[in-house]
Every structure is written in structure tokens, then in C-alpha cells.
Amino acid sequence: MRKLILTIVGGLAVLASPAVSAQDAAAPPPAAPTTIVYSNDGMSRMSDLPMGIHRIPDSNVVISGHQKGGALGLLFGPVGMVVQSSANAGDGTAKVQSMEDDLRFDAITKAGELTQAILADGKYQQQFQLGSTPSGRTLNVVPYVVITFQNETDVRPYIVLKTKLATGAPNESPKAVKYFCCEGKAFPLLGENGLAANGGARLKELLTSELETAIQVMLLDRSTPYTRDKSARVNTNGFLPFVGKPLKMRGYDLGRYKDYSLVDYQTGILVFGGVNIVEPGALEITPVPPK
């Protein structure tokens, strides 16, 4: 009798094994991580830069905020005013011509180093990987620097990450999402304690910190997107990238990253449209009253 029971149990185990194997085989494989590729190909004068900027040759560093004339050219790029554009660009060139080499910053190389360090701690291990060429699902990122004059002598440097997520779908036209980060008050560009002093050492230190913050927010938003909720809109007042005077704007409150407020100006025609990472006190931020 005991022999019969063992035979029956053994037979049931044999029958059950294929079922378990089939179930395991049917389980979907884990999704491949998104490949992050940093490049300098994609900063467009048509959509990313206002009129009258000066771009330091052979770099992704642009000078803005010095422009004079109508405000539209500062906000909308080529769809704004083109009057005085050439003169404004020349004015920007004159402001930085003697120190251009001190203002250079290799944002692509530094972004790769920072991203590698962030991914190494395992938080995004299954979601992202760093690559040099597009492969499968790819987040293309173009980093650049905007040094914005707030007055004749003082500037605020911004790191910008222009991102596009390509999934490999046919006829795909991915939308760009930009991330802007500026840390600290306006600093003098020239002088013993200016950002350009000592080969731009202080500027490079500041940009490295901003770049790390921007990458952290980008990874958070691209892994679990922040909610763009019309009921959580805010009015802001203060200095924004590219523009050398305070502006009043309306955006979406995305919450916070550490001590930073995250405000998304969701418009594709404004050069600062995207997620602005705002340190405490940098902007006046008030909720939009409900209707």
C-alpha cells in the first residue's frame, strides 16, 4: 500500500512539473533599462535659444540677459523680434571676449561621470544605464550652460538638460522636456572673487553642483513622472533663464526635491519652458486661487 501511495505522489509531481515550468516560461522578462546618452547634438537656435545670445565658440555655453530691445525676442527665440539681434549678440561677445576660455565647461563629460556615480548606488539599477550610442529605449540628453546677466556685472549660471525619450516606435516624434537648475544668488563675473577668476574655478564648481541636482530631478521625473495638475498651478515672479529682468509667469507646482521647488512652465515656445529647479528664495511663488 505504501509503495502504491509513493507511486501516485511521484506521478503527480511529474505531472505538476511541466505546469510550473510553463508558468515560469510565460512570465514576462524584466524590462530592459533605458539607455541614457549625453550628446551636444540638439541645442537648437530655433526653439532653445532667444535672439541676441552669444555662444562661446566650440562649446555649449551661451551668454544671455544682456540683450536690449523688445522682450519678445528674449522669450521666444526666432518667433520673437529679430530687431537688434545682431547688435545684441555682439554686445554679449564684448562682455565675455577676454575670458571665454575661463567660462568653458565640459558638461557632457561631467554629466556622464555624475550619472555613473548616481546609478552605481543601485537606486535606478533596473531602470537606467549609461551608454554612448542609442540602444533600444533611449533617453537622449543635451546638456548646456546659460550664463544670464542680471545687471551689468552680475550673472546667474544655469545648467540645462534637454531630454527626449525615444522608444523605438515607428514614426515616433518624441517631445523634449527640459530641466533648468541655478543655485545661489547672482555673482560678479569679473574681479578677484568673480566666477571667471582662477580659470573659472568657482564657476565650474557651481555648475557641477547644479548639474548633479538637475540629473537627480531628471531621473526622478523620468522614472516616476511628476504630476502636472491644473489644480496645483502657481504664479511666480523673479529671474528666469536667459532673461535679465524679473518676469511674472504661471506654471505647475510639481512639489519639491530636497529644499528646491519644482515649477514646470509647460509651453514649447518659451525658451525657459520646462522644469525649473528653484532654490529657496529664488522666486516668489504663490498658489493660483481656485476658480
- Smallest Cα–Cα separation from 261: which of 291, 284, 231? 284
- Smallest Cα–Cα separation from 283: which of 211, 250, 225, 230? 250
- % of residues, the chain, pLDDT over 90: 48
Residue 165: pLDDT above 70? yes
- 3-class secondary structure per residue, 16-46: HHHHHHHHHHHCCCCCCCEEEEECCCCCCCC
Average pLDDT (13-39) is 62
Render pLDDT for 229-261 as a digit per residue (tens, 0 to 9). 888 999 999 999 998 889 999 999 999 999 999
Question: Of 36 and 47, which is predicted with more confidence?
Answer: 36
Residue 12: pLDDT above 60? no
Average pLDDT, the chain: 81
- 160, 241 contact by CB (below 8 A): yes
pTM for the model stands at: 0.82
pLDDT for 6 equals 42
pLDDT for 28 equals 55
Among 61-65, 78-82, 87-91, 193-197, the least confident range: 78-82
Question: Of 120 and 79, which is predicted with more confidence?
Answer: 120
- What is the DSSP code (8-state) at residue 206? H
**In angstroms, rounded to a whole number, what is the distance separating the alpha carbons of residues 141 and 262?**
19
Domain ranges of the chain: 34-226
Residue 2: pLDDT above 50? no
Among 65-69, 119-123, 136-140, the least confident range: 65-69
Confidence of residue 29 (pLDDT cuts 50, 70, 90): low
- Smallest Cα–Cα separation from 174: which of 182, 166, 183? 166
Question: Of 134 and 178, which is predicted with more confidence?
Answer: 178
Among 88-92, 148-152, 283-287, the least confident range: 88-92
The answer to whether the Cα torsion of 158, 208, 174, 250 is positive or negative is negative
